[in-house]
Structure 1
Amino acid sequence: MVSTPSSGSDALTRQSPPENSEYDHAVREIGNLTLALRDDLKFQSQPFDGQNFILIEHPLSATFYRVGPAEYAFLSLLDGRTTVAEVLSHLANSASSEVLTAHEAAGLCKWLIEAELASTAESSDPLRRSAAARKAKRGGFWRNWNPIAMRWPLVNPDPVFTAITPCLRWLFTRWAFAPWAVIVMLALYHAAADWPRVVASSSAVVVLGNAWWLTACWVVLKCLHELAHGIVCKMYGCSVRGAGIILVLFAPIAYVDVTSSWRCRSKWERMHIAVAGIYLELLVAAAAMLIWSHTGQSVVNHVCLNVAIMASVTTLLFNANPLMRFDGYYVLADWLEIPNLHARGQQWLTQSARRYLLGMNAQHAAWTRGSGLVIRVYALAAFAWRIVVCSGLVMVAATMFHGAGIVLAAFALILWIAMPIGRFVAAMVRANPWERPSWKRLSALGGMLSGCCALLFLVVPWPGACIAPAVVDYSQPTIVRAGCSGFVREIRVTAGELVEQDQILALLENKQLQFELDDLRLNQQKSRLLCRISETRQMLAESQAERERIAELNKRVSEKEGQLAQLTVRAAQRGYVIGRNLETQVGRYLHEG
């Protein structure tokens, strides 16, 4: 799911400005500006956290911003003729209960221009607009062709969703939730009841030979996931602007653009749109688990297990994870009624680092006690999770393409570490005097980091081992072979166990061989009876023939008994058992030798 959060509230965070004459002079100069809002902006009143906010929609860029009543009153007077100072004067003389200060108005004007919601005579200059367009195009190129995560917009699926929504919307209604819950609970019950089998079978899911099945299941599941987002979005009268593919380390992930869901006045409608994909995937996972639990070893059974694991574990770990900016994040932000939860958390981390590590004059935003605690906890958790995810992606990238993926890993390190450091250094060099860091504190911090690195590499013991490929084998191993074909009935030893000579290792079973032996013994008894009858009647020729037949049968019975004895596999000599997963051999058919 792709959604654009309302970034306007970030710019409207009210903070105490720095006390500096140059800054005050810049604020006074902004008062002489005349701003004009774009003609195509759309405004909508929207309740949030017990208050009414104004939602601003930028139709061309499909972005949404949320502002408060005081900010909206200021925006409504920007007609391109009235200066900012005159607007503030008019609001101060009105009956409005809350009026922006000059510093807040200055920050708001700067944000309006940067977000291209308003323009001045200078910002509307064709040359300046052309330069901004080229810069945006370059940024879009790197976003779309970043080898770590490439984003390819493909089609406008809105007509398709308009056609299929009337037929499929019932799946996402409150009446369908009860059957959905029953199916999911039944699947959980069967998975718990047959948990050892689930664990044993799941080890065979992530193997190289299963890659094609996994890829096919992944693509189908992600298409169903995005299909659910689009259908629920259309249920609430919103549009689906686009659809495409995101390649994360060349693994395809479908997406649909449901940014228009911000038009929904109810947060529960927005949460419904965000959670629809997870809802449908869990339904598919539950159905697959039920089929798997009621089928034996087959292709269908194997595919259903793949689907059940991928549609449940991966969906809950990533899509439902609020620490990543996927579906779970938007559900959490709407439920807590904290807009831009991720952006506010990053802002708090940045300001804390600037203040406590660099000694800069950074003011934190004014939050309520409850929301402030949530934002801080979320910021720390999301930062830690991001480190884990980025480290994992770098390690996976480094092992791709037989080692050639190290280029991808190097690119990721440049993108995530080198470039932010470069931007930080450039910002420090260009910073205003009141925004520059404390170089003493920065030097002390750098010295401490250097000392820790030196301590790590020079003092901490390091084995310094060289790694080289090698093959380890046992000296003169004895291979145990089946003396007779049969099914493995029992394994009596484990890997690494010390066994003595002639100790039983395994028992095989061959019912056909046993049937043949029983038949020979019956014929043997029949021949002995005929031989006694012939001797009683003094039929010497017949008696001699039966004796020869009895001798032949005795020979064949001895051979069959010898073969049956070889179904008991014994150790040829004293030693240790070598083998992996010996218990999995039970039930397997072994040929002689």
Structure 2
Amino acid sequence: MARVQLHSEDWYRVSALCPRLRPQVQVALHDYKGMPWYVLTDRSSGQTFRMTADDFEILRRFDGRTRISEIWNGIAWSHERDLPPQDEFLELLSRLYDSGIILVDALPRAATLARGQEEKAREWITRLLKSPVSQKIGLFNPSALLEGRVMTGLAHLVFGPVGLLLWLAAILGGVLTALSYWQPLTANLGDRVLDPGNLLIMACVYPAVKLIHELAHALAVRRFGGSVTQVGVMFLVFVPMPYVDASQANAFRSHGVRALVTAAGIMAEFAIAGVAMILWAEADPGLWRAILFNTILLCTISTIFFNGNPLLRFDAYFVLADLTQTPALGTRGQRLLMRLIKQLVGLDPGPDTESGGTGERVWLVSYAVAAAMYRVFIVFAIAFGLAQMLGMAGQILGAWVVIGGLIWPNAKALHGVAVSPEVRKRKWILMRRLLIFGTASLAMLVVIPFPLRTTVPAVVVPSPQAALYSRGEGFAETLAVESGAPLLPGDVVMILDRAALATELDALEARRAASAARLLAARNDGETSLAQAIEAELGAIADGAAQIRDQLAAIRVVADRAGQWVDALTPVERGMMVTRGQQLGWILGPEDRRLAAHIPQSRGFALRHGVQGARLMVAPGDTREVAPDAIALRPDASRSLVDPMLADRMGGPVLTDLESPPEAILALNAAFQLVIDAPGNDLQLGQTVLVKLVHPPMTLFDRYWPRIVTFVGERFGAGA
């Protein structure tokens, strides 16, 4: 068992200090999973600090008169709790001081005081440099307004049985309406959202939505006896939005009440979305419908990605912490994750201040990892969004967001670790482990190839040679077979009406007889030139009559091969006009099926790398190998479809342009066309199966680096 170092070499630096609790700090007792936790709220800044009962027993002794050394010795002699190691004691003291919870009795020098005042005055500059697209300005104290009879009554109405029923009705009505109007609501969504006119409407709608969001927080606080002490304006991507300081909800003892206060804004936005969805369905196209559309968008997608996502420290984060009874969820997770990283690289992790068991520690670390990954995703999503919407200015702001949100804080943290005494003491161990880790990571990225697969849905379609085309034209008079019937060579499929052709042949015969009489008269009169012209006319009439006789012979549409008859996608019906060359259907034999697929251009790098084979995943447990010579891939991306059965309007998986005609259906996006000639005789036309293409192995660097360069270049390049 590892020994715990009780004394600290830095103890002498602070042992004579007399800490005390700041007077503006409010203390509230919470119960988490049967264990008491104390929540300290700084009423001047709104910041909160949660601590265990053992740590709070130490804080009780901070009276401004007792030295730290006396406090520690008193704990040792009291036997009321385990004596904390001095390093752990100093770590708690440092966190309390950095959070503004305690003060020490050391008198600041004039220069130090002046420097602190200057730093306070420049604080807004620091916030601007760290996050140029997110700034907050306090305006006034709304307590007198919110604590009046009208607002108090409204709070009890909204957060009571009547408010709950109205909220459920709005949500249910909005969901049912959205399901009914899903296609027109989501059609061409990306282009509609990024249209400059729509972005302007969205910028105007967002503050109004957030006003109701923040009002819901304020009413919830008031409903349970709290007060809101500050209202202000926050600029998010330069769009002004209201905010309220609802930090007094931390004093509520009930987990459910605190969660409800925090979730009030999210619930309000979902209710707004439900009402807006119902109104949108009834509105006529125009400005009002555009406002409702953006309201729906902001109250659903924006809420899900930001306020409603517990991986960011917004509303849903605190709701999750209260409902799971996990106080300081993110902070504790980060602390545990940092301890694991330090242990991995050979550094002293310091005192373990986490009180949770093994299961809770796994939950905290998992949350910390997921939150860090999501933060990276959100920062880059904002940066790329700014670059795409605002051009050159957006590119500058996007780079600024990445630097301020990711690069600078991480670089600052790494610098703090690099200059720490523990790194200096173990620098050779650290360098050796980092070298091993870096070498292994480099090998994983650029040396070791990994299997590469592309999985796409494919549709069973008929082979081209199975198609039966009309050699004549006319109205369908007789349909001899139904779809699915077996055919033999020579069997009649359908008979076309011959009346029009017979009339036209009779007319040509009459013209031929008249021209023959004219030719005889011209010869008798010795008019050689006229006779030659009439002879040419007779030749043309004979050719036309021969063609009509051929068409009359083709009026009987017969099978030219054995197989099963399948009607065309637009089946021929009795009385319908059939033109020459029109596809009537297919005569499918045992080998007349193939697979067709539409592969997105994002998989182009894998296709260019080669295809070694394929597997068909027809059903669970039914996987079939396909030889490379049965795979045909068109090298150029195109919007044309290999077969119309791939189109969504025909039941296929490919989204198509609604304006393209049925005879030439075009996909919305260009893609690579794949054909496989060995699907299996048991597959039915129109059936969808998954095709997994097998590519030669590729390193992670070769797989992802070109795509990253292309993606970033499209948004931050010279021509972006």
TM category (shorter chain) comes to 0.5 to 0.7
Task: Give the corresponding residue for 2:435.
Answer: 443
Cα distance, 1:140 vs structure 2: 4.2
SS at match of 1:360: coil
> Taking structure 2 as the reference length, what is the TM-score of the superposition?
0.56
**Aligned-partner Cα distance in 2 for 1:303–1:106:** 55
Question: Could you give the per-residue CA deviations for residues 248-292 of structure 1, whole angstroms, max 9, x where no partner exists?
Answer: 333444322212221112122211111111111111111121222
Task: Give the corresponding residue for 1:56.
Answer: 40
Structure 2 residue 410 is the aligned partner of structure 1 residue 424: no
Structure 2 residue 337 is the aligned partner of structure 1 residue 337: no
Task: Give the corresponding residue for 2:151.
Answer: 165
Task: Give the corresponding residue for 1:524.
Answer: none
Question: Could you give the per-residue CA deviations for residues 345-378 of structure 1, whole angstroms, max 9, x where no partner exists?
Answer: 222333333322x321225645213321221221
Q: How does 1:290-439 map to 2 (within 5 A)?
A: 290-356=278-344, 358-362=345-349, 365-415=354-404, 416-418=406-408, 420-432=410-422, 433-434=424-425, 436=427, 438-439=430-431
Change beyond 3 A, Cα 1:86–1:217: same
Q: Residue 582 of structure 1 is aligned with which of 646, 659, 666? A: 659
**Aligned-partner Cα distance in 2 for 1:110–1:49:** 27
Taking only the aligned residue pairs, the percentage that are identical comes to 21
SS at match of 1:440: helix
Amino acid at match of 2:659: L
Amino acid at match of 2:49: Y
For the 8 Å contact 1:43–1:55, the answer to whether it is kept is yes
For the 8 Å contact 1:243–1:255, the answer to whether it is kept is yes
The alignment's C-alpha RMSD in Å is 3.7
Q: How does 1:281-296 map to 2 (within 5 A)?
A: 281-296=269-284
Structure 2 residue 78 is the aligned partner of structure 1 residue 86: no
For the 8 Å contact 1:213–1:303, the answer to whether it is kept is yes
Amino acid at match of 1:270: R
Cα distance, 1:581 vs structure 2: 4.2
For the 8 Å contact 1:202–1:305, the answer to whether it is kept is no
Cα distance, 1:428 vs structure 2: 1.1
Structure 2 residue 245 is the aligned partner of structure 1 residue 261: no
Q: How does 1:14-33 map to 2 (within 5 A)?
A: 19=5, 24-27=8-11, 30-33=14-17
**Aligned-partner Cα distance in 2 for 1:88–1:147:** 41
**Aligned-partner Cα distance in 2 for 1:144–1:450:** 37
**Aligned-partner Cα distance in 2 for 1:174–1:272:** 14
Task: Give the corresponding residue for 2:519.
Answer: none
Cα distance, 1:438 vs structure 2: 1.2
Q: Which moved more, 1:266-275 or 1:38-47?
A: 38-47
Task: Give the corresponding residue for 1:111.
Answer: 95
SS at match of 1:398: helix
Task: Give the corresponding residue for 1:520.
Answer: none
Change beyond 3 A, Cα 1:46–1:366: closer
Question: Could you give the per-residue CA deviations for residues 127-167 of structure 1, whole angstroms, max 9, x where no partner exists?
Answer: 43443444454444321464543313141242343345225
For the 8 Å contact 1:165–1:235, the answer to whether it is kept is no
Question: Could you give the per-residue CA deviations for residues 73-122 of structure 1, whole angstroms, max 9, x where no partner exists?
Answer: 32222333322232233344446355544443333333333334333343
**Aligned-partner Cα distance in 2 for 1:584–1:347:** 61
Q: How does 1:446-457 map to 2 (within 5 A)?
A: 446-447=438-439
SS at match of 1:155: strand
**Aligned-partner Cα distance in 1 for 2:16–2:300:** 58
Cα distance, 1:328 vs structure 2: 0.7
**Aligned-partner Cα distance in 2 for 1:435–1:130:** 38
Cα distance, 1:197 vs structure 2: 3.0
**Aligned-partner Cα distance in 2 for 1:224–1:132:** 38
Amino acid at match of 1:414: I
Task: Give the corresponding residue for 1:65.
Answer: 49
Q: How does 1:543-582 map to 2 (within 5 A)?
A: 581-582=658-659
**Aligned-partner Cα distance in 1 for 2:31–2:66:** 30
Cα distance, 1:317 vs structure 2: 2.8
**Aligned-partner Cα distance in 2 for 1:305–1:29:** 62
Change beyond 3 A, Cα 1:115–1:218: closer
SS at match of 2:227: coil
Q: Which moved more, 1:94-103 or 1:281-290?
A: 94-103
**Aligned-partner Cα distance in 2 for 1:129–1:17:** 42
Query: How many pairs are equivalent?
Result: 456
Q: Which moved more, 1:175-184 or 1:152-161?
A: 152-161
**Aligned-partner Cα distance in 2 for 1:401–1:199:** 24
**Aligned-partner Cα distance in 2 for 1:299–1:418:** 42
Task: Give the corresponding residue for 2:210.
Answer: 222
Cα distance, 1:331 vs structure 2: 0.2
For the 8 Å contact 2:379–2:402, the answer to whether it is kept is no
The structure in which a higher percent of residues are helix is: 1
SS at match of 2:356: coil
SS at match of 2:272: helix
Task: Give the corresponding residue for 1:47.
Answer: 31
For the 8 Å contact 2:28–2:250, the answer to whether it is kept is no
Q: How does 1:134-283 map to 2 (within 5 A)?
A: 134-144=118-128, 146=130, 148-158=132-142, 159-163=144-148, 165-169=151-155, 170-200=157-187, 205-206=192-193, 207-283=195-271
For the 8 Å contact 2:32–2:327, the answer to whether it is kept is no
For the 8 Å contact 2:220–2:261, the answer to whether it is kept is yes
For the 8 Å contact 1:57–1:63, the answer to whether it is kept is yes
Amino acid at match of 1:392: A
**Aligned-partner Cα distance in 2 for 1:166–1:59:** 22
For the 8 Å contact 2:232–2:244, the answer to whether it is kept is yes
Question: Could you give the per-residue CA deviations for residues 315-345 of structure 1, whole angstroms, max 9, x where no partner exists?
Answer: 2232111111111111001111111211222
Cα distance, 1:418 vs structure 2: 4.7
Change beyond 3 A, Cα 1:312–1:117: closer
**Aligned-partner Cα distance in 2 for 1:250–1:216:** 12
Task: Give the corresponding residue for 1:469.
Answer: none
Cα distance, 1:296 vs structure 2: 4.4
**Aligned-partner Cα distance in 1 for 2:299–2:316:** 15
Change beyond 3 A, Cα 1:180–1:413: closer
For the 8 Å contact 1:157–1:240, the answer to whether it is kept is yes
Change beyond 3 A, Cα 1:280–1:49: same
SS at match of 2:45: coil
Q: Which moved more, 1:132-141 or 1:327-336?
A: 132-141
Change beyond 3 A, Cα 1:123–1:359: farther
Cα distance, 1:126 vs structure 2: 4.9
Q: How does 1:423-502 map to 2 (within 5 A)?
A: 423-432=413-422, 433-434=424-425, 436=427, 438-447=430-439
**Aligned-partner Cα distance in 2 for 1:577–1:54:** 63
Stretches of structure 1 lacking an aligned partner (at least 5 in a row): 1-15, 461-502, 504-575, 586-593
Amino acid at match of 1:582: E
